[in-house]
Chains A and B, each alone.
Chain A
Amino acid sequence: MSFIRESFSEFWASNISKIGILFLAILVAVSIYTVTTLPLDFGVRYWYNPVYWVDYPKSAQPEWINIFLSEKLMSHVELSISKASGIKPYNNRFIKYYNVSYNHECNQFPKFITLRISDLLFYRRDSPPIVRFYVTRPDGRTIELYTLAIETISSNATPPFRYFSMEPKRILLSGDIYLARSLVSFLYREFNISLGTSGVLEVGSEKIIFGSIGGDNTFTPLIGRYVFSAVLICSDVNDGIGMFNVVLGGYVYGLMGTDVLGRDLFQGLLFGFPIALIIGVGVSLLTTFIGAGLGIVSGYIGGRVDDFIQRFADTINNIPLLPLLILLSFIFGGRLWLIIFVLVFFNWPSLTIIVRSMVLSAKASQFIEAAVAIGASRLRIMVKHIFPQVAPFVFAQMIFFTPYAILAESALSFLGLGDVTMPTWGQILEYGFKNGAVFLGYWWWILPPGLFIVYSAVTFVFIALGMEPVVNPRLRRWK
């Protein structure tokens, strides 16, 4: 069809269309990547599940910020081992070592330290294993961190007995009173410093573990190799730990940093792409479909049908929309498809009114009369003769409406009226704003979601702008 080719070459002639198409390609590619890599129930399963994010650093800046800093910030570290690094017999029992090492190079203490074991397995009902945790510092000194004793099994379940398989055992060392006592004796033993448990807690266990002590009892980070070990004392040689992790809370994390709950913003923001695309395209598709359809029917059929559609459209078109949109989303919202429905419901009328007036002028064209004269049915005339007349305009409106839909959804999300089962950029901004990200200067929480909203909206605005000369013949370059 030559006019499609002509229209396209007209469209393609401007740079803004090319940029728009490029942006769209990226948008679609990222969305496809997200949908194929993240689970579809990412929202409920991970994002809105605080337990999942416990071991992530809270409000951490993105990792790449270190490039710009002279004083590097400590990265978040998670160490793990799943196989014993050594085994030794000991008084009829066995000792299994699980060692992980970490090279501390930055001039900071970790924010927190968490030990985690999962899948503890043992066979002797009367003699369950004991796990002791130690750390050996770069200066060769060793600190006992924690002891985990497992109770004997009194039930008549059959071995092997499995602990912490559903959920790992998590030991938060910061503020742990057992560790504090151990540190009191460590300080006294090694440095001859007497500090009570409350004193230790006040300084912070992380500082003592990762610190070398200065002259005036201040702690500076001790650079070098740390070895964390879990020591399993067991009665059966087959007893063991499935996985041992050490988490050292850092100040920077990942590509996009984390929020106040420790959620990895990168994953949340990534998930926002397909949602924005679905909202934008879905809403504009439905709105233009309904709006143009009713506009054509209203304009061509006329009479009572026209009166009815126009009264209805007029009413909706005559009210300030945002307040009602908010009210409706509050009442019905909370799910993506309901938000789409509300946005469509309030926005089809304006298109209907314009399409109707276009149809009225197209209806006056003689080729419509010619079609009547050769006996074409109403449906045929509407589909074959009227629709093509308004199609370019409707298509352009659809493109132009897409950013509106994206912006409207993010606004509703920002008001806390978004879909509660999946993260959207608006919701991330809402949570950030509610948690004072703006006042605390957490820029990495505010900047990217908004930028992505602008990006996806601007994509469609650019395409729409590129289409303007195609749709508005007055601006055409070719004649």
Chain B
Amino acid sequence: MLLEVSNLRLYFKTLRGDVKAVDGVSFSLDKGKTLGIVGESGCGKSSTANAIVRNLPRNVSRYEGRICLEDMDLIPLSEDEFRSKIRWRRISMVFQGAMNSLNPVLKVGFQVAEPLIIHKGLSRGEALKIVEELFRLVGLSSEIVNRYPHELSGGMKQRAIIAMALTLNPDILILDEPTSALDVSIQAQIMNLLKNLKRKLGISMIFITHDIALASDICDEFGVMYAGELVELGSAEKILPSPKHPYTQKLLSSIPRLHSDKTPEFIPGAPPDLVAPPSGCRFHPRCPYVMDKCSRENPPNTLVNGGFVKCWLYK
């Protein structure tokens, strides 16, 4: 077990009250595997990622749980320890806004090389040499090293950012919607690249997206998030063909498919406000199988089909 997250909570303070962005999330990640975290926007996917790399805004009101990286609990680590031991060396991340992830006044190559210089103490020249290699790996020509971010297209920036995430050979790479701003053909290119990296480097990934079809390209396991909670967790082989949780079922059937003639369905209503989520099962107001119990009690995680489902239907 490479990474084990249990009972992770991350709340933000606002004028209206605490936003329970991540509320008791548990999952684990094996070496070389990719976990997809999927769900609608505003369900806490990105916050989960940010909680793992401890990229927190100032208004955090609650940050607790266990994040164990090979038996080391990360939460009690001091800011400085976490920075020098974990960040980028063990866990690196590709952020959602690829367009804004690069400093506009520094050359791309230098930004990618920076972790090597800081963490490994390499000279700029040595670091840049490694960067050129990495660029080749992600399909960028080595001359890009000397370019500024604004001179790159969106796809090239995304490749550079992926290269940047790989500089220190991290154990875990977190990808937060890495392709959402890209065109479909470029998106396919990036997915192929990620697949290659996974195979070649054996790196573990957490892939965050709202698009299950896209996630199926790379993920071995799926965690489905709804309203700050993980409602279903299981392998791709189990979840994609036969989802258990009503939310997962709905999510899967809402995807317009090219190769089948089934009319897509939709989930009526909108995800709840995370300041005051519904009582009991948070999905109950939108659930087609809602029962009395659902609005009263929060369902426990039930072992079904080799994975966990958080639903009263399976209890």
List chain A residues, Cβ under 8 A from B15.
Answer: 13, 477-478
The total of Cβ contacts below 8 Å across the A-B interface reads 7
A479 contacts the other chain (CB 8 A): yes
B41 contacts the other chain (CB 8 A): no
List chain B residues, Cβ under 8 A from A477.
Answer: 14-15
List chain B residues, Cβ under 8 A from A479.
Answer: 14
**Chain B residue at minimum C-beta to C-beta distance from A10:** B15
Report A476 CB to chain B, min CB distance, Å: 9
List chain A residues, Cβ under 8 A from B16.
Answer: 478
Q: Could you tell me which residues of chain A, from 429 to 479, have a CB within 8 Å of some CB in chain B? A: 477-479
**Chain B residue at minimum C-beta to C-beta distance from A477:** B15
Q: Could you tell me which residues of chain A, from 1 to 49, have a CB within 8 Å of some CB in chain B? A: 13
List chain A residues, Cβ under 8 A from B14.
Answer: 477-479
Report A170 CB to chain B, min CB distance, Å: 68
**How distant is the Cα of A387 from the Cα of B30 in the complex, in angstroms?**
56
- Total contacting residues, chain B, CB less than 8 A: 3
**How distant is the Cα of A476 from the Cα of B160 in the complex, in angstroms?**
33
**Chain B residue at minimum C-beta to C-beta distance from A479:** B14
Report A76 CB to chain B, min CB distance, Å: 57
**Chain A residue at minimum C-beta to C-beta distance from B59:** A477
Report B16 CB to chain A, min CB distance, Å: 6
User: C-beta contact mask, B1-32 vs A, less than 8 Å → 1, else 0?
Assistant: 00000000000001110000000000000000
**How distant is the Cα of A479 from the Cα of B18 in the complex, in angstroms?**
12
List chain B residues, Cβ under 8 A from A478.
Answer: 14-16
Report B156 CB to chain A, min CB distance, Å: 25
**How distant is the Cα of A104 from the Cα of B281 in the complex, in angstroms?**
90
List chain B residues, Cβ under 8 A from A13.
Answer: 15
**How distant is the Cα of A457 from the Cα of B16 in the complex, in angstroms?**
34
**How distant is the Cα of A479 from the Cα of B14 in the complex, in angstroms?**
8
**How distant is the Cα of A478 from the Cα of B16 in the complex, in angstroms?**
7
User: C-beta contact mask, A253-276 vs B, less than 8 Å → 1, else 0?
Assistant: 000000000000000000000000
Q: Could you tell me which residues of chain A, from 130 to 174, have a CB within 8 Å of some CB in chain B? A: none
Report B43 CB to chain A, min CB distance, Å: 16
**How distant is the Cα of A479 from the Cα of B59 in the complex, in angstroms?**
13
**Chain A residue at minimum C-beta to C-beta distance from B13:** A477
**How distant is the Cα of A478 from the Cα of B59 in the complex, in angstroms?**
12
**How distant is the Cα of A13 from the Cα of B15 in the complex, in angstroms?**
10
User: C-beta contact mask, B238-270 vs A, less than 8 Å → 1, else 0?
Assistant: 000000000000000000000000000000000
User: C-beta contact mask, A348-372 vs B, less than 8 Å → 1, else 0?
Assistant: 0000000000000000000000000
**Chain A residue at minimum C-beta to C-beta distance from B19:** A479
Report B205 CB to chain A, min CB distance, Å: 30
User: C-beta contact mask, B120-162 vs A, less than 8 Å → 1, else 0?
Assistant: 0000000000000000000000000000000000000000000
**How distant is the Cα of A265 from the Cα of B288 in the complex, in angstroms?**
80
**How distant is the Cα of A478 from the Cα of B17 in the complex, in angstroms?**
10
**How distant is the Cα of A477 from the Cα of B16 in the complex, in angstroms?**
9
User: C-beta contact mask, B168-189 vs A, less than 8 Å → 1, else 0?
Assistant: 0000000000000000000000
**How distant is the Cα of A149 from the Cα of B227 in the complex, in angstroms?**
103
**How distant is the Cα of A13 from the Cα of B16 in the complex, in angstroms?**
13
Report B103 CB to chain A, min CB distance, Å: 19
**How distant is the Cα of A36 from the Cα of B82 in the complex, in angstroms?**
69
Q: Could you tell me which residues of chain A, from 392 to 442, have a CB within 8 Å of some CB in chain B? A: none
**How distant is the Cα of A142 from the Cα of B209 in the complex, in angstroms?**
107
**Chain B residue at minimum C-beta to C-beta distance from A478:** B15
**How distant is the Cα of A410 from the Cα of B14 in the complex, in angstroms?**
43
**How distant is the Cα of A209 from the Cα of B15 in the complex, in angstroms?**
75
Report B133 CB to chain A, min CB distance, Å: 39
**Chain B residue at minimum C-beta to C-beta distance from A476:** B15
**How distant is the Cα of A477 from the Cα of B15 in the complex, in angstroms?**
6
**Chain A residue at minimum C-beta to C-beta distance from B275:** A479
**How distant is the Cα of A478 from the Cα of B14 in the complex, in angstroms?**
6
**How distant is the Cα of A477 from the Cα of B12 in the complex, in angstroms?**
12
**Chain A residue at minimum C-beta to C-beta distance from B16:** A478
Q: Could you tell me which residues of chain A, from 53 to 80, have a CB within 8 Å of some CB in chain B? A: none
Report B279 CB to chain A, min CB distance, Å: 23
**How distant is the Cα of A479 from the Cα of B21 in the complex, in angstroms?**
14
**Contacts from A to B (Cβ < 8 Å):** 13, 477-479
Q: List 5 A-B contacts (CB under 8 A).
A: A13-B15, A477-B14, A477-B15, A478-B14, A478-B16
Q: What 7 A-B pairs have minimum CB-CB distances, sorted nearest first?
A: A478-B15, A477-B15, A479-B14, A478-B16, A478-B14, A477-B14, A13-B15
